[in-house]
Chain A
Amino acid sequence: MNFNLSEEQNQIRDSIARFVQENYAFDQRNAVVAQEHGFSEEHWQQFAQLGWLSIPFAEEHDGFGGGPVDTMVLMQEFGRGLVAEPYLATVLLFGGLLQAGADETLKSAYIPRIIAGELQGAFAYLERQSRYVITDIATSARNNGGEWVLNGEKTVVLNGGAAEKLIVAARTSGKQADESGITLFLVDASSAGLERTTYRMTDGQEAANISLDNVTAEAIIGSEGEGYAVMTPVVDAARLAVCANALGAMESLNAQTLDYCKTREQFGVPIGSFQALQHRMVDTFAACENVKSLLYRAVCAAQDSEADAQRSLLALKVMVGRAGKLIGGEAIQLHGGMGMTEELSVGFYVKRLMIINTLFGDADYHQQLFADLVNAPAAKSAAAKSEAA
């Protein structure tokens, strides 16, 4: 048992920390987010050169062959600086799905292009009615003489504006929220019949609604009707990654608030000398440590495929949602009027944490899944086993 990073992981962490230090000061970040798709192409090329885009991919496709701990380290450091580049959408979701479900030809065609920084992608799975249930898919795909034709509308597709290729989850059989009958398709974003409406999220990133009107898919990812099995581990890995991202943001935000409490003076003394504020800072510190503990737990369990993995992941996502609101809310309150302004980055961190809460389902949604898992009679022995682990 240990919670230390390997030498390689420390190097990744240090190099990202340096990148953030040099490129993500307050004004620099504002300039990045103001660019066309909400990120810097120049940074993306730098990521490619530094090898960061290769981290989760298998070595046979020019990847680094990294595991959950590597992704955690990277996403946590990105979170500290509120790095805006679409690592989640292109590398972890789009790339992750290719890696998990695509055939060899597709993998060798596209994964090296992602790693080289040449290809932006996105995963289009949400729909207006689906809220947090990722199996609630009305978009349909029908086989038309060997070609798959898609119809429907996808919403909140992260990086959907910049993406050259999309992976679209569509229904090929079954009822609207069934796990079976979902199929994943590779779709070129410039296909005839595909229209996208882009917009910004509060954290600055670009998302798109995408309507599909008799759009012909480029390829199928995995087997027909089996998309859910491909999506699930990829979305779980992405959950872990956004939680690591949240931890970095929380640590940075807590540090800023603490610093402000030590320097801002009222009534002739630093406001951090007041006990009412001290106890609130202890609460936010505790919330951050809880997130870190559950993140380590979930990452270790994911890495070793332990029985505890699903339970830990769900618990983590709940904690990240709740802690994010606490830490964000206190950061604004303790900064006083300054916390309300766009002259400090406080609000940007708060918005990022609010967005992360909603990604892949919010705290309440995950707590319901958690309760179903641990309270089910059948889960008794499994839970008891993981208790003992």
Chain B
Amino acid sequence: MHTRLSEEDLAFQSEVRAFLNEAWTKELAATCNNRATMKEGLVEWQRRLYKQGWMAPHWPVEHGGTDWSVTQSFIYNLERASAGAPEAIPFGVTMVASVIIAYGNDEQKARFLPRILKSEDWWCQGYSEPGAGSDLASLKTRAELEGDEYVINGSKIWTTYAQYADWIFCLVRTDSSGRKQEGITFLLIDMNTPGVTVRPIDTIDGFHHLNEVHFDNVRVPVANRIGEEGKGWTYAKSLLVHERLSIAEVADSKRALAQLREEARQEVNGGTSLLQDPLFAKRLTDIEIDLMALEFTELRALASIAEGKEPGPESSLLKLQGTEIQQAIQELRMDVAAYYSGTLQGELSAEALGHDYADSAQKSYFRGRASSIYGGSNEVQKNITAKYVLGL
């Protein structure tokens, strides 16, 4: 039992640091952090990753992945987060690509994977519906086969960045006679197809990222179906395993916590730094201790995977605890920002208000409420752990 890094791992760490130093510039960070230019910033970042060969580390090498060990992936992610660089937008490279690689045919792989790798297509995810949230399998969007096309009717909701997307991967119902998990089909749909409309949903963080996507007699070639008709639920579930490991965002929370500590150090109450306030210090260290534990829970899961074993039962906790920690950091940051967490954006610039992190504190607090809802709400995660891990 040990956590020492090998010489090879240390050399890799230097390589990652050198790359980030060069590729993740201040200018690019500014472009990504400005909501008006976010999309072009992220695409540019992903193209730099592609040039380096690191856009899709987890893909098989023949499709453009790396052959990083689990430790190397961990190092990369830690360094990336410490530098403040974002992960690649997951809908294409992580989510749909995993399904295409595992279940798509050769033609689909050749058609979609290179474009994902080069960030030529922006993908979004069509799972949730107005009537199907945590109970995803009760989805109702219909796909009727007519010749060599499916005709789609229905609505998807909470579709992140649909307004930017070229493609959407959807779960649709092709049969409603059996169990609700049966009769679901996995389809890839071009967002420019006639009959697709996107309606923005205003959210409490004041930022347009969520949408409704409506399908009105949208015709989709059968060639865009992944695998067999009616097997979509199985394909989607396999994807959730991939999702679970990355969703904890341990490395990003470590950076957020370090930043929060420095912000608190600067805040002064009656001449004393907020960091010296024992009640504040208690809340801050509660979070830090939980995060230190979660980091090793993740390492334990990664170590199992590295040995070719299934991750242990502890991995079921990653999403639950990871999002609880993210939200706790966001909440505490609001308290650090005091009055300035409640000033309305646009009235005065953040700089003019004198607490330049307050605006981002407020936005990430409200946006962050979503993390315990998406990807299966945290209550559903507890149900899953109770059933599959504890056998209740």
Contact = CB atoms under 8 A, between A and B. Distances in A.
Contact of A278 (B1, B284, B321, B383): B383
A175 interface: no
Contacts of A9: 1
14 contacts: A1-B2, A1-B306, A2-B306, A3-B300, A4-B1, A282-B382, A289-B313, A289-B317, A293-B314, A303-B1, A319-B293, A367-B286, A370-B285, A383-B258
Main secondary structure of the interface of B (DSSP, over half): helix
Nearest to B13: A388
A290 B303 contact: no
B390 A286 contact: no
Query: Which interface residue of A262, A273, A297, A375 has the most chain B CB atoms within 10 A?
Result: A375
A289 B293 CA distance: 8
B290 interface: yes
B254 interface: yes
B73 to A, nearest CB: 12
Interface size for chain B: under 10, 10 to 19, 20 to 34, or 35 or more residues? 35 or more
Contact of A289 (B314, B382, B387): B314
Main secondary structure of the interface of A (DSSP, over half): helix
B132 interface: no
B288 A374 contact: yes
Contacts, number: 141
Contacts of A290: 290, 293-294, 297, 321
Interface string A208-219: 000000000000
B4 A1 contact: yes
Contacts of B317: 285-286, 289
Contacts of A5: 1
B164 interface: no
A279 B5 contact: no
A293 B294 contact: yes
Contacts of B4: 1, 304
Nearest to B291: A315
Query: Which interface residue of B379, B382, B383, B389 has the most chain A CB atoms within 10 A?
Result: B382
A312 interface: yes
B297 A289 contact: yes
A294 interface: yes
Nearest to A297: B296
B85 to A, nearest CB: 15
Nearest to B296: A293
Interface in B66-90: 71, 78, 82
A304 B2 contact: yes
Interface string B274-298: 0110100110111011101111110
A336 interface: no
B348 interface: no
Contacts of A315: 288-289, 292-293
Contacts of B389: 285
B390 A278 contact: yes
Given A2-B307, A293-B294, 18 more contacts: A1-B3, A3-B303, A273-B392, A278-B386, A278-B387, A281-B390, A282-B382, A282-B386, A285-B390, A290-B290, A294-B292, A294-B293, A294-B296, A297-B293, A303-B2, A315-B292, A318-B289, A371-B281
A148 interface: no
Given A278-B390, A315-B292, A371-B282, A285 B385 contact: yes
A351 to B, nearest CB: 25
Given A5-B1, A286-B317, A294-B292, A279 B382 contact: yes
A29 B296 CA distance: 34
Interface string B198-242: 000000000000000000000000000000000000000000000
